[in-house]
């Protein structure tokens, strides 16, 4: 299994491969982006060379970082079960809107606030309903001869370089207010995403795809050691190849882009709040530990930190009703 990671060790940041209980760094000047730009086959060849020649560093002695610095992050909402529950929690309405079934839907989130496993996630200002979202993300790599535009599903499948675990942290009370403006979440989402613990290359999953292209691998999330939710990645409404293809329509996907699956069924608190009719389990609080595990990839774990005490909302002024500039009065001689 080829696992690609970034880590801090001995005062520096390195990128490379994790094999068993050791890390093997790429040559100086090379990064995970170097591998994504090279493509999957060249990366697999390089992995064999590096793990045979680079000095091993014990995995236990490094601090893992997010496995890449994403160019963009598109986060889909591809699990019907999640949509049913969270819509009841956020909007107070049961069921799934018919438009969800027509095409995959995603929003762009913040690539600059990506965190790694082991990092402390602070509660954003004004938030009392902190939540997590249990996801798998596909990472895009280079395919020779393709510019990443207007791909069909077969072409898009080849652009999937690997997979990682994604926690799309969510401030649900901020999100509820924002989404009433019908523009999607902003400050309810952009304060943190966690990726990790590494990227597992896509070739490791080829034999696992079912006839429709779905991956029947298990996903689960625990809070403070208690299981909160579990699902199969194959319960998505669309396989990842279709998500990548849709993202590329009249647009482009490039090496370093990350595409999230959206939250799996029972993979967040808000979905359970909608189904239970109350905030049970309760929102996350300072000191809670969230651990997500995806079969064939690994686990990420983060502790919730303190809330930032600040007031960030600025009310709008009342809309002026003037339609033209009034001339200034002329002073009397």
Write out pLDDT tens, residues 258-309: 999 999 999 999 999 999 999 999 999 999 999 999 999 999 999 999 999 9
What are the distances in angstroms from CA 16 to CA 8, 31, 39, 154, 257? Answer: 11, 7, 15, 29, 19
Q: What are 210-260's pLDDT values in tens digits?
A: 999 999 999 999 999 999 999 999 999 999 999 999 999 999 999 999 999
SS3 (DSSP) at 107: strand
Contact 51, 19 (CB under 8 A): yes
Average pLDDT, stretch 79-98? 86
d(CA 75, CA 99): 17
**87-91, 156-160, 187-191 — which is least confidently predicted?**
87-91
Whole-prediction pTM value?
0.95
Identify the CA nearest to 122 among candidates 185, 171, 61: 171
List C-alpha distances in Å: 67 to 116, 119, 195: 8, 13, 7
- Closest by Cα among 320, 330, 60, 313 to 181: 313
Residue 329 pLDDT > 90: no
The rounded Cα 262 to chain-centroid distance in angstroms is 8
Backbone φ, ψ for residue 199 (5° rounding): -100, 125
The CA-atom distances, in angstroms, between 196 and each of 33, 87, 119, 177, 281 are 15, 28, 11, 30, 25
The mean of the pLDDT values for the chain is 95
Confidence (pLDDT) at 163: 98
What gap in Å lies between CA 109 and CA 185, rounded to an integer? 9
Residue 228 CA: distances (Å) to CA of 126, 197, 203, 224, 268: 25, 20, 30, 10, 8
Whole-number pLDDT of residue 333? 66
- Cα first-last separation, the chain: 89
C-alpha to C-alpha distance for 127 and 174, rounded to whole angstroms: 7
- Cis before 281? omega within 30: yes
- Give percent of the chain above pLDDT 70: 99
Give me the architecture of the 73-307 domain, per CATH: Alpha-Beta Complex (3.90)
pLDDT at 330: 74
Using 50, 70 and 90 to split pLDDT, how confident is the model at 311? very high
- Residue 199 reports pLDDT greater than 90: yes
State the pLDDT confidence band at 35, using cuts at 50, 70 and 90: very high
Confidence (pLDDT) at 153 = 98
Confidence of residue 322 (pLDDT cuts 50, 70, 90): confident
Task: List the chain domain ranges.
Answer: 3-64, 73-307
Q: Give the residue from 106, 91, 109 showing the smallest Cα distance to 244.
A: 106
Q: What mean pLDDT comes out for the span 30-38?
A: 98
Helix residue ranges per DSSP H, the chain: 32-38, 40-53, 80-91, 153-159, 172-179, 240-248, 269-276
Residue among 270, 10, 11, 260 at smallest CA distance from 130: 270
How many Cβ atoms sit within 10 Å of the Cβ of residue 80? Answer: 15
> What local confidence, expressed as pLDDT, does residue 183 receive?
87
pLDDT of residue 331 exceeding 80: no
Averaged pLDDT, 33-40: 98
């Amino acid at each position: 299994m080829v696992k690609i990671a970034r880590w801090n060790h001995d005062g520096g940041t390195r990128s490379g491969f994790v094999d068993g209980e050791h890390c093997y760094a790429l040559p100086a000047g090379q990064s995970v982006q170097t591998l994504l730009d090279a493509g999957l086959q060249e990366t697999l060849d390089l992995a064999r060379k590096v793990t045979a020649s680079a000095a091993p560093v014990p995995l236990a002695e490094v601090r893992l970082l997010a496995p890449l610095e994403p160019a963009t992050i598109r986060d889909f909402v591809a699990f019907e079960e999640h949509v049913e529950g969270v819509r009841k929690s956020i909007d107070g309405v049961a069921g799934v809107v018919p438009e969800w079934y027509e095409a995959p839907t995603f929003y762009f989130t913040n690539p600059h606030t990506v965190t790694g496993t082991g990092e402390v996630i602070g509660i954003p200002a004004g938030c009392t309903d902190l939540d997590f979202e249990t996801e798998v993300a596909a990472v895009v790599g280079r395919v020779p001869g393709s510019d990443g535009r207007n791909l069909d599903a077969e072409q898009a499948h080849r652009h999937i370089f690997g997979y990682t675990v994604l926690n799309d942290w969510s401030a649900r009370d901020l999100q509820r207010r924002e989404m009433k403006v019908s523009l999607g979440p902003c400050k309810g989402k952009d304060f943190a995403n966690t990726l990790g613990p590494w990227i597992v290359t896509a070739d490791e999953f080829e034999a696992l795809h079912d006839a429709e292209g779905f991956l029947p691998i298990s996903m689960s999330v625990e809070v403070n050691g208690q299981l909160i939710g579990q699902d199969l990645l194959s319960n998505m409404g669309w396989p990842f190849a279709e998500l990548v293809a849709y993202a590329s329509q009249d647009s482009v996907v490039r090496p370093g882009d990350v595409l999230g699956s959206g939250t799996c069924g029972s993979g967040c608190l808000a979905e359970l709040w909608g189904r239970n009719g109350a905030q049970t389990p309760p929102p996350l609080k300072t000191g809670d530990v969230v651990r997500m595990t995806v079969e064939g990839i690994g686990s990420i774990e983060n502790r919730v930190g303190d809330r930032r005490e600040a007031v960030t909302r600025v009310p709008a002024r009342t809309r002026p009703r003037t339609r033209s500039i009034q001339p200034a009065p002329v002073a009397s001689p």
